[in-house]
Amino acid sequence: MKIVVLGLNHKTAPVEIREKLAFGAVETTRALCELKSRFCRAEFVLISTCNRVELYCADKRAGGVDADDLARFISEFHNVKLEKFQEFLYAYSDEDAVRHLLTVASSLDSMVVGEAQIIGQVKESYKLACAAKSTGKVLNRLFHCAFATSKKVYTTTSISSGRVSVAGVAVELARQLFADISSAKVVVIGAGEMGQLIVQHLLAVGAGHITVVNRSWDRSLKVAEQYGITARKWEELHEQLIGANIAIASASVQDYLFKKDSFKEITDRRRQGPLLIIDIAVPRNFEPAVNELEDLYLYSIDDLAEVVEQNRKARERDIARGMEIVFENVAGFMDWFGAKDIGPLIGQMKEKFAQIGKNELERFFVGAREEASCRDVMEAMVNRVVNKLLHCVIKNVNAVAKENGPTEAARLVDSIVRQAEEISSESSNNNKKEDTQS
């Protein structure tokens, strides 16, 4: 089998591309079911976060699903022409694909290295795939290997210390741009996991006037009570933004909450000086053109680069140690991945060798020798020879596995099986010719 991953992320694609190809939970389930229906023998897991969309697949090596198939599927599913995003895609296979997933799950490939949210997102993606029955032996093993790798990276390094999340970086940016955040009126749009993280980080830097606004009033109220802040109903969002100094948005929506024209009504009524908006939602909550309005500064998730780079430099030693753990676990998985194919291949090799022996016996016992009394003795002797040759071959396969790894050993056995198939076919055809001539 082969493992393939096709995707794009914050390093390869801008937010305006990522938001067009993002999958919500319902869309993820539908996509997985469609993939499984179209490619019934393959396995699939789909990861979609604010910073990446990645489709993992395990399928047969010859004639199975490839990266082009996955790219076409994403294009068709979202009704976005492939040429619009093809240049932003990356594709990895086998060991490179395994290394990529383990790096992602361990937050070593995240915009904010060390963020704890990514492993939860990967686990949720895997959970959705299990529910959709789109996983199998290979991806089940791979994703559990990724979970174990992430746990080891987090428990044996300091990579997750400090404000290591997109929410934390957004608040750090706000703190750098707003001189006295303790006196600023801050509106948090969205009360989901990201919204709550924003509130936590705001409180940690001393913000004293925080209001959370969410579509669900009950959730807003619950978050407000938990953190000792203010909650307002969704219908009051416009009024809250009129009086705000800072707004940080992470609401889950499929279209902009605010466009330039509608937001101008808010800015025309403001008397609070400049408004800083940090939009970390994907898809975005604010149309980019909003930034053209006077006394308003809009930052998207892709504008957090400078703060993100500060975080990365502070964690270089932990990143190096984390990658060592990733490489160790990649090697362990690839040993299993290579070895899992050897057993069935050995079985096929035994069948082909036995068939060759049988064909040669049939070729010998024709004509006057057809009823020879020594047939049983000859069959036993040929079987012994075949088994001894098999023993020699398997011994050499084991030596290759030990020296060069199971994957190389599997390639060797696969090559022997194909050659044995050719020999078996030739001897079978020769027998038929001889039968015809006799």
Among all chains, which residue has been given the structure tokens 């800072």?
246
Residues ≥6 apart with Cβ < 8 Å to 90: 6, 7, 8, 12
Residues ≥6 apart with Cβ < 8 Å to 327: 99
Question: pLDDT tens for residues 384-398?
Answer: 888 888 888 888 887
Residue 5: strand pairing partners: 56, 92
Residue 91: strand pairing partners: 6
Shared domain for 115 and 174, answered yes or no, is: no
Q: Does the bond joining 283 to the residue before it have cis omega, within 30 degrees of 0?
A: yes
- For residue 334 the two structure tokens come to 């690839």
Higher-confidence residue: 418 or 65?
A: 65
Shared domain for 7 and 156, answered yes or no, is: yes
- For residue 138 the two structure tokens come to 């290979």
Shared domain for 70 and 198, answered yes or no, is: no
Helices (H) then strands (E): counts for the chain: 15, 10
What amino acid occupies position 237? L
Shared domain for 99 and 219, answered yes or no, is: no
Minimal CA–CA distance to 170: which of 207, 215, 214?
207
Percent of the chain with pLDDT over 90: 61
Minimal CA–CA distance to 97: which of 134, 137, 142, 62?
142
Shared domain for 31 and 131, answered yes or no, is: yes
DSSP assignments along 275-316, one per residue = EEEEE--SS-SB-GGGGGSTTEEEEEGGGGHHHHHHHHHHTH
User: Which pLDDT value is given to residue 62?
Assistant: 76
Shared domain for 155 and 176, answered yes or no, is: no
Instruction: Assess if residue 48 is contained within a domain.
Output: yes
Shared domain for 84 and 114, answered yes or no, is: yes
Instruction: Assess if residue 321 is contained within a domain.
Output: no
Q: What is the CATH number of the domain that holds 292?
A: 3.40.50.720
Question: pLDDT tens for residues 350-396?
Answer: 888 888 888 888 888 877 777 777 888 888 888 888 888 888 888 88
Shared domain for 149 and 170, answered yes or no, is: no
Higher-confidence residue: 309 or 431?
A: 309
> With 70 as the cut, is the pLDDT of residue 53 above it?
yes
Instruction: Assess if residue 236 is contained within a domain.
Output: yes
**Residue 356 class from Cβ within 10 Å (0-12 exposed, 13-18 middle, 19+ buried)?**
buried
Instruction: Report the alpha-carbon distance of residue 384 to residue 396 in Å, rounded.
Output: 19
Shared domain for 195 and 152, answered yes or no, is: no
- For residue 260 the two structure tokens come to 């330039």
Instruction: Assess if residue 66 is contained within a domain.
Output: yes
> With 90 as the cut, is the pLDDT of residue 100 above it?
yes
Contact (CB, 8 A) for 417 and 349 = yes
Instruction: Assess if residue 258 is contained within a domain.
Output: yes
Shared domain for 81 and 224, answered yes or no, is: no
Rg, Å, the chain Cα set: 30
Instruction: Assess if residue 428 is contained within a domain.
Output: no
How many structural domains comprise the chain?
3
**Residue 35 class from Cβ within 10 Å (0-12 exposed, 13-18 middle, 19+ buried)?**
buried
Contact (CB, 8 A) for 234 and 213 = yes
Torsion angles phi and psi, residue 188, rounded to 5: -105, 120
Shared domain for 117 and 171, answered yes or no, is: no
Shared domain for 11 and 153, answered yes or no, is: yes
Contact (CB, 8 A) for 414 and 344 = no
> With 80 as the cut, is the pLDDT of residue 338 above it?
no
Q: What is the CATH number of the domain that holds 143?
A: 3.30.460.30
User: Which pLDDT value is given to residue 418?
Assistant: 87
Residues ≥6 apart with Cβ < 8 Å to 305: none
DSSP assignments along 163-179, one per residue = S-SHHHHHHHHHHHHSS
Question: pLDDT tens for residues 179-212?
Answer: 789 999 999 999 999 999 999 999 999 999 999 9
> With 90 as the cut, is the pLDDT of residue 343 above it?
no
Considering the entire predicted model, what is its pTM?
Answer: 0.75
Instruction: Report the alpha-carbon distance of residue 219 to residue 227 in Å, rounded.
Output: 12
Catalytic residues: 50
**Residue 235 class from Cβ within 10 Å (0-12 exposed, 13-18 middle, 19+ buried)?**
exposed
Instruction: Assess if residue 150 is contained within a domain.
Output: yes
Range of the domain at 215: 166-312
Strand (E) or helix (H) holding 211: strand 209-213
Instruction: Assess if residue 384 is contained within a domain.
Output: no
Among all chains, which residue has been given the structure tokens 């047939």?
375
Residue range 230-247: average pLDDT? 95
Which of the residue ranges 6-15, 162-171, 259-268, 286-295 would you say has the lowest mean pLDDT? 162-171
Contact (CB, 8 A) for 249 and 194 = no
Give how far the C-alpha of residue 48 lies from the chain's centroid of Cα atoms, to the nearest Å. Answer: 8
The last residue of a domain, from among 312, 330, 355: 312
